[in-house]
Amino acid sequence: MAEHNEIGEKGERLTQVFLQEKGYQLIELNWRHRKDELDIIAVDRDTLVFVEVKTRSSRCFENPKDAVTIKKQRNIIRAANAFIEDKNLSLDARFDIVSVLIEGKKVEIEHIEDAFYPML
């Protein structure tokens, strides 16, 4: 497996633990709809949360949260709509980004709730 894939998977595992410690109930991991993927789908109290995880091993490149471009947001929203329809859900929903920076043994996790909103 490529190193960037390993780092990405480690970031997702760290995020899963982080969210569970905050009381989130994880309901799906890496859910796919056609070519789109939702990293983590969770419930926070009475809200369905679609979490995009971005992991980096260095600050030399863009901040992980900056990698969630408008195009990526549209893909996430499209997949979220498919998930909601597929599961016939009627919960409020929001879109979060978790930025994970792994530099050696040091890990920083930043959780941005309501990071973006569906475009009309």
Q: Is 34 helix (H, G, I), strand (E, B) or coil?
A: coil
pLDDT in tens, the chain (120 residues): 566 678 889 999 999 999 999 999 999 999 999 999 999 999 999 999 999 999 988 876 676 677 899 999 999 999 999 999 999 999 999 999 999 999 889 999 999 999 998 875
Predicted TM-score of the model (pTM): 0.92
Full domain range(s) for residue 66: 3-116
In b/e form, how buried is each residue of 32-54, taking b as 16+ CB within 10 angstroms?
ebeebebbbbbebeeebbbbbbb
In the chain, the number of structural domains is 1
Whether 14 contacts 100, CB under 8 Å: yes
- Please give the DSSP secondary-structure letter assigned to residue 86: H
Length of the chain: 120
Q: What is the CATH number of the domain that holds 109?
A: 3.40.1350.10
